[in-house]
Amino acid sequence: MQLTPIYETLLKLRTGQVRSNDLSRACLDAIHDPAGEGARAFIRVYDCAKDIPANGPLAGLPISIKDLFDVESEPTTAGSTLLRHSTPARNDAVVVQRLKSAGAVLVGKTNMTEFAFSGLGLNPHHGTPRNAFDRENARIPGGSSSGAAMSVTDGMSHAAIGSDTGGSVRIPAALCGLTGFKPTARRIPLEGVLPLSPSLDSIGPIAPTVACCELLDSVMSAESCSPVKTARIPDVRVGVLQGYVLDGLEPEVARAFQDALDVFSRSGARVESVEFSCLDNILSANAKGGFSAPESFAWHRSLLEEYSDEYDPRVLSRIMRGRDLSAADYLDLLAARKRIINSAESAFDGFDAIVLPTTPRVAPRISDLVASDAAYFDANIAMLRNPSVFNFLDGTALSIPCHRPGQPPVGLMIAGLAMWDKKIFGVGKALEAALTEAGCATHCAGHKALEQIHR
Amino acid sequence: MQLTPIYETLLKLRTGQVRSNDLSRACLDAIHDPAGEGARAFIRVYDCAKDIPANGPLAGLPISIKDLFDVESEPTTAGSTLLRHSTPARNDAVVVQRLKSAGAVLVGKTNMTEFAFSGLGLNPHHGTPRNAFDRENARIPGGSSSGAAMSVTDGMSHAAIGSDTGGSVRIPAALCGLTGFKPTARRIPLEGVLPLSPSLDSIGPIAPTVACCELLDSVMSAESCSPVKTARIPDVRVGVLQGYVLDGLEPEVARAFQDALDVFSRSGARVESVEFSCLDNILSANAKGGFSAPESFAWHRSLLEEYSDEYDPRVLSRIMRGRDLSAADYLDLLAARKRIINSAESAFDGFDAIVLPTTPRVAPRISDLVASDAAYFDANIAMLRNPSVFNFLDGTALSIPCHRPGQPPVGLMIAGLAMWDKKIFGVGKALEAALTEAGCATHCAGHKALEQIHR
């Protein structure tokens, strides 16, 4: 798999080497290919090949959006069937408006874990798309932004917009060999986005490279489109997060992660262990269901009265955990979060980025998880464990591929605290370049095209 | 009762006409007067007559603080006995630091409803001070900042700092014939203040005039000390809030309020009714105990296990209402608050201030409320009803006296939404001047001294 970074495509669009119509047509063909995964990756497809947007930083680029973003006059279904006949959205979600204003062409809405409430990407209503790296064995794409990642690996879009509440952008990016970015939540408006957990929800891109994510992020946050400077590796102090985030790594993950750290050290970065003594407190604070259970229960409460039999039972069971939490427990959780964030600020002080494996495992088979609730919940807990740390910390994080070509995809998380986003992009681009040079990652940064596109 | 505005006192201090030591000594004498209310108005008294602060906008001014502000190396007891032996505070509360830095002299910590959880001011542990206006009949001072208001009316301090979660600054100000100010909560840091309900808690002054409150507020918020311009009455559009806030007014209140509106109209202000259709929704949103019950329960939960028999039973019963609220109900309340605030923004748009009676009743007798739970809770609900609207709306509000001299004190609330604080000060000074000129209120603004002190 060799994907084209979006800024290269954008440059070709600008210089007339390709036409937006043709790109859209190719995406639609890939979606409609009966041998492909389009039927399971997309919930709604737009007749976009006729759109010819005029200008903007994303002019003419076909992208996909997750099925939880409002698009005017459509019901927003979030991967469910029960919302099929809900009131159509009156407006586009703010991010959708911004993407359209920037010239992006929407190819469709991607499949997802129902209501975004799992990190695996299984969807019993619309089917589960098969991960591109090992299609025969039908492995999961990761979730909840499952179709989002698939749309990029399978040429059904050039980039995808997902949401990340506990890892829902970073997990599918990691398991599919892509780059995913979870911003500091407050930077990108959640207006018009169907919520899972408003305390944790954030909106982020999945795309081939860090610079692709940065460009999409700048459009969605309505911040400057000029990219941050790539960090100089010898200036970078990387903290390798210790503790349970390193437990139970599958051999492929442990190897790829260690290789990446070796590459960084050899490139001159300062790679140090970082202890964060309150890490375990996140687990205990979340023991009664965390934010997602009560916040989703509050949102779904009235729907549950009427439609509980139409929910994915595994999603339903996670929502229902929120029913019995008391207000005082919820307030304790808020207070604990505040304390833990304060302690993280001390622990991470002086580092340019915190790194850890995005997930401890590579993508398991869909059939194994469909067959067994125990296997499903075990895998789900494992996949969410590391990414969710940075949702809880109100932080920011990239996941970039760090496996060798031909190996199962493994994600490296490059993370930080609230509003470290620009710093993380600068460090992320440097670490990505180091991995690319060492032959670990699949994409090259293509800085020349990038510089031209950012003008 | 004719009190001296603090800026007049400050001017005398600056020009050497009075000495801080002597002012402090006079306050201490008033506190220790066995015929006075000091024993019930203060929980802790400082040996302050020896302090000679050097400079700052409040240099040398004796003030009191409510018993819920941290002072370094003292336990903060919030009017309780059960916290007598709690861990001493490590630092002064931020507002205490700011007041001290501004040169204020702390005379002591004032009595309050235990844990600030009632609007009446009764305290079974420390006694209830008797309102100055009708001492023989032993009427309530109002609460929860009961001792705060008493300290000002009785010459035991020149101004008082309280907290306001549902009216705890404005109610005692109204019932004691003083001016009280509830700022937009976020403007003044709550660090080092024992919480009642962090969603609603705010910190405000009680003092003789609006300009006194403005000066104290500018110190506590660390904003500019230059006062806002007093509004020109003919430019002012006043909205008279309609609905349940006008129900059940006692004749003294109805008369004083109507007189005040007539004065404003005659002075050239535009006085109009304002309908706020979501007002009733505040009551329904709060039906299960609002924010204070669950938020105080969460804070007190561990103390309750050990000390529940040491709580004022009426306070305890209000805290315990929070035990059974679910997280989802709490989240619904948060969502309702957001919607209601949005609707208030439309309803109040174009007005310079919203006015309403601070309380529907004048101060009842202490003995009647001590004798009967029914009378206590009935009076408590009545007193909190109007002020709490603006805590719920995250707004700001002054209460200024509007009764004729010799009549029972009645408060006029001059209120607005979040961050209207400066506007409310400008309008408040104008309306106060109009009332003073008409002989309705007890204090004159003394602008000459004020201008000099603000230099």
How far is residue B357's CA from residue B258's CA, in Å, rounded to a whole number? 10
Chain B within 8 Å of A342 (Cβ-Cβ)? no
- Distance of residue A350 Cα from the nearest chain B Cα, in angstroms: 26
Q: Enumerate the residues of chain A whose CB falls inside 8 A of the CB of residue B288.
A: none
Q: Enumerate the residues of chain A whose CB falls inside 8 A of the CB of residue B324.
A: 326
Interchain contact, A326 vs B326, CB within 8 Å: yes
The single residue of A118, A144, A145, A199 carrying the catalytic annotation is A144
Q: Name residues 304-333 of chain B within 8 A of A (Cβ).
A: 322-332
Interchain contact, B325 vs A323, CB within 8 Å: no
Closest residue of chain B to A301, computed from CA coordinates: B328
Q: Enumerate the residues of chain A whose CB falls inside 8 A of the CB of residue B328.
A: 294, 297-298, 301, 322-323, 325
Range B6-453 has CATH code 3.40.50.150: no
Closest residue of chain A to B296, computed from CA coordinates: A328
> Is A346 part of the annotated catalytic residue set?
no
**Which pLDDT belongs to residue B53?**
59
What are the tens digits of pLDDT across the range B396-453?
Answer: 999 999 999 989 999 999 999 999 999 999 999 999 999 999 987 655 434 444 445 4
Strands B396-401 and B353-357: unpaired
Q: Which residues contact A425 (CB under 8 A, 6 or more apart)?
A: A210, A213, A214, A217, A227, A228, A398
Nearest to B398 by CA among B390, B99, B269, B5: B390
Long-range contacts of B382-386 (CB under 8 A, 24+ apart): B382/B248, B383/B119, B383/B120, B383/B142, B383/B167, B383/B171, B383/B359, B384/B119, B384/B166, B384/B167, B384/B171, B385/B244, B385/B245, B385/B360, B386/B167, B386/B245, B386/B356, B386/B357, B386/B358, B386/B359, B386/B360, B386/B413
Instruction: Pick out chain B residues at pLDDT < 70.
Output: 1, 51, 53-54, 441-455
Chain A within 8 Å of B301 (Cβ-Cβ)? yes
**Which pLDDT belongs to residue A388?**
98
Interchain contact, A328 vs B332, CB within 8 Å: no
- Distance of residue B197 Cα from the nearest chain A Cα, in angstroms: 11
**Which residue carries 């604990």 as its tokens?**
A336
Using CB atoms, pick whichever of B295, B322, B332 lies closest to residue A298.
Answer: B332
What are the tens digits of pLDDT across the range A363-393?
Answer: 999 999 999 999 999 999 999 999 999 999 9
Chain B within 8 Å of A298 (Cβ-Cβ)? yes
Q: Which residues contact A256 (CB under 8 A, 6 or more apart)?
A: A402, A403, A404, A407, A410, A412, A440
Query: In chain B, what is the straight-line distance between the N-terminal and C-terminal CA atoms, in Å?
Result: 29
How far is residue B411's CA from residue B357's CA, in Å, rounded to a whole number? 6
How far is residue B149's CA from residue B383's CA, in Å, rounded to a whole number? 16
Average of per-residue pLDDT across A413-419: 98
Mean pLDDT, all residues of chain A: 95
- List, in sequence order, the alpha helices (H) in B237-365: 251-266, 279-285, 292-307, 313-320, 327-347
How far is residue A154's CA from residue A346's CA, in Å, rounded to a whole number? 42
DSSP classification of residue A324: T
Give the model's confidence band at A208: pLDDT under 50 very low, under 70 low, under 90 confident, else very high: very high
- Distance of residue B225 Cα from the nearest chain A Cα, in angstroms: 32
Measured over all CA atoms, what is the biggest interatomic distance in chain B, rounded to whole angstroms? 60
**Which pLDDT belongs to residue B50?**
79
Give the model's confidence band at A49: pLDDT under 50 very low, under 70 low, under 90 confident, else very high: confident
**Which pLDDT belongs to residue A2?**
73
Q: pTM value?
A: 0.90
Q: Which residue would you say has higher pLDDT here, A180 or A454?
A: A180
- Distance of residue B374 Cα from the nearest chain A Cα, in angstroms: 28
> Is A168 part of the annotated catalytic residue set?
yes
Using CB atoms, pick whichever of B298, B323, B331 lies closest to residue A295.
Answer: B331
> Is A66 part of the annotated catalytic residue set?
yes
Using CB atoms, pick whichever of B297, B324, B326 lies closest to residue A325.
Answer: B326
Q: Which one of B295, B303, B321, B331 makes the best mutation probe of the A interface by having the most chain A beta carbons within 10 Å?
A: B331
**Which pLDDT belongs to residue B122?**
97
Residue A336, pLDDT > 50, answer yes
Q: Which one of B303, B326, B333, B334 makes the best mutation probe of the A interface by having the most chain A beta carbons within 10 Å?
A: B326
Q: Which residues contact B93 (CB under 8 A, 6 or more apart)?
A: B69, B70, B71, B191, B192, B193
**Which residue carries 């009714």 as its tokens?**
B273
